Amino acid sequence: MEKNSALNVLHTACGNEIEPYTNRPYSDYISDIVYKHEEYVIILDYTSSILQNDKEKITDSAKCLEAKLRKNHNLNFIIVTTSSIKHIAEPAKNKPKCVRKMVIIASGKGGVGKSTIAANIAVKLLHCGYKVGLLDADIYGPSIPAIFNTHDVVNLDVHDNIMEPITSNGLKIMSMGFLIKKSTAAIWRGPMTTKALHQLIMMTNWGELDYLIVDTPPGTGDIHLSLAEKYEIDGAIIVTTPQALATIDAERMVDMLNKVNIKIYGIVNNMAFIKVNGFFLEPFGKEEHINLLIQANTRNIISLPIDPKIQDLNTAKVIDKELYQITQWLCH
Ligand SMILES: Nc1ncnc2c1ncn2[C@@H]1O[C@H](COP(=O)(O)OP(=O)(O)OP(=O)(O)O)[C@@H](O)[C@H]1O
Ligand SMILES: [Mg+2]
């Protein structure tokens, strides 16, 4: 049969067959007919019909047409398929207008060094010449203000509902601690936390930033879910210590991040060793992080020593090389 007349035959045949779920002729749903390997492929598109999100019925409907064309019209050189099910648009995610990358620092377990590492990474990025912001999203124990000695600053400058971040040597800092009193943190509930997070991220005058580093609380709670669902997060750095308990919690965090499609830049194995008289001791044991790396789909891992100098950001040269390596993870 000549190609054009074959197409006419197919259109007429589809017009004579009624789609069982919508009671309309199948011809209403034809989006294309293509000729491939001596067969005609009829592509049906249900995107503006009531079937649009019902994968099962759509598949059944296509099979049904194929059977009818073969049986009632003797058309054996056809395949009926469907264009993909309409993509349900996800609500647009937020990111401050001039922020290039938003990176979260997360752990699962508390006290493993998230805030310390977040602050060190932010300062290192700043020293590398980037424009950097540091957001402390820990509602229950904001510690970034203490690390930067800005603990007492609670009266933020606010113009037209937009808050001015605190600056420390060029680093822009905002913290849950600036919005809530420590004593009231325990009574904060999900919606309040979400609202405060929105204020910190979207209603702060971050200006132009290459990186906004977000320090998160321990666990996989409201803040993490809110960050994942509502904001355009470019990736995460996972902090753990060598103990099995910390690693298990880190795996839980990675699992959550995988579920919400947040990329993991790498793992920081904090407080992994201590150097005494030229010897390396591992006071917390040596936990293999193979599973964690596989689960996080990364090869990037860095071990940091136990060293009180890490707490003093201006003299934290002890981990300068490692911090540089971490900044390199963020470039990809
Ligand atoms: N590598 C390190 N060497 C020595 N001390 C460290 C190191 N990393 C973190 N610390 C110290 O350990 C303590 C806990 O660190 P930090 O507050 O950063 O942990 P965190 O994971 O943010 O805790 P939280 O879960 O409570 O927010 C702090 O006193 C910090 O100075
Ligand atoms: Mg912390």
Does residue 327 register a pLDDT over 50?
yes
Atom of ligand 1 nearest to the CA of 109: 25
Atom of ligand 1 nearest to the CA of 270: 1
Q: If you measure from the C-alpha of residue 64 to the centroid of ligand 1, how many angstroms do you get, rounded to a whole number?
A: 63
Atom of ligand 1 nearest to the CA of 110: 25
**Which ligand sits closest to the CA of 144?**
2
How high is the pLDDT of residue 185? 61
Nearest CA-CA partner of 289 in 303, 306, 305, 273: 303
Q: If you measure from the C-alpha of residue 263 to the centroid of ligand 2, how many angstroms do you get, rounded to a whole number?
A: 21
Question: Domain end: 41, 61, 88, which one?
Answer: 88
156 or 297: which leads in pLDDT: 297
How high is the pLDDT of residue 234? 96
Pick from 46-55, 131-140, 168-177, 193-202: least confident: 46-55
Q: If you measure from the C-alpha of residue 238 to the centroid of ligand 1, how many angstroms do you get, rounded to a whole number?
A: 14
For 116-151, what is each residue's pLDDT tens digit? 999 999 999 999 999 999 999 987 777 888 888 886
Q: If you measure from the C-alpha of residue 187 to the centroid of ligand 1, how many angstroms do you get, rounded to a whole number?
A: 25
Whether 69 is in a domain gets the answer yes
Nearest CA-CA partner of 172 in 116, 119, 114: 119
Q: 76 and 223, same structural domain?
A: no
Q: Give the confidence band of 1 by pLDDT, cuts at 50, 70, 90.
A: low
Question: Which residues does 3 contact at the CB level (< 8 Å), separation at least 6?
Answer: 35
Whether 135 is in a domain gets the answer yes
Counting beta carbons within 10 angstroms of the beta carbon of residue 252, is it exposed (0 to 12), middle (13 to 18) or buried (19 or more)?
Answer: middle
Q: 138 and 198, same structural domain?
A: yes
Q: 62 and 120, same structural domain?
A: no
Q: 233 and 128, same structural domain?
A: yes
Atom of ligand 1 nearest to the CA of 239: 21
How high is the pLDDT of residue 8? 86
Question: Domain end: 65, 88, 111, which one?
Answer: 88
Report helix angle 222-230 to 244-259, nearest 10: 30
Q: 256 and 164, same structural domain?
A: yes
Nearest CA-CA partner of 14 in 2, 4, 29, 3: 29
Q: How many structural domains compose the chain?
A: 2
Atom of ligand 1 nearest to the CA of 118: 18
Pocket of ligand 1 (CB under 6 A): 107, 110-116, 138, 141, 143, 218, 270-271, 304, 306-308, 310-311
Residue 50's domain comprises: 3-88
Q: 154 and 248, same structural domain?
A: yes
Q: If you measure from the C-alpha of residue 143 to the centroid of ligand 1, how many angstroms do you get, rounded to a whole number?
A: 10
Name the residue at shortest CA distance from atom 19 of ligand 1.
113
Q: 248 and 207, same structural domain?
A: yes
Q: If you measure from the C-alpha of residue 17 to the centroid of ligand 1, how many angstroms do you get, rounded to a whole number?
A: 69
Q: 278 and 189, same structural domain?
A: yes
Q: If you measure from the C-alpha of residue 200 to the centroid of ligand 1, how many angstroms do you get, rounded to a whole number?
A: 23
Structural contact between residues 106 and 257, judged by C-beta atoms closer than 8 angstroms: yes
**Which ligand sits closest to the CA of 119?**
1
Q: If you measure from the C-alpha of residue 137 to the centroid of ligand 2, how many angstroms do you get, rounded to a whole number?
A: 9
Atom of ligand 1 nearest to the CA of 117: 18
For 248-293, what is each residue's pLDDT tens digit? 999 999 999 998 889 999 999 999 999 888 888 998 888 889 899 9
Q: Which of 105, 109, 115, 315 to mutate to test the pocket of ligand 1 (most atoms within 8 A of CB)?
A: 115
C-alpha to C-alpha distance for 326 and 117, rounded to whole angstroms = 10
CATH number at residue 301: 3.40.50.300
C-alpha to C-alpha distance for 324 and 163, rounded to whole angstroms = 31
Q: 131 and 72, same structural domain?
A: no
Q: Give the confidence band of 240 by pLDDT, cuts at 50, 70, 90.
A: very high
How high is the pLDDT of residue 182? 63
Whether 272 is in a domain gets the answer yes
Burial 299-310 (b: 16+ CB within 10 A, else e): ebbbbbbbeeeb
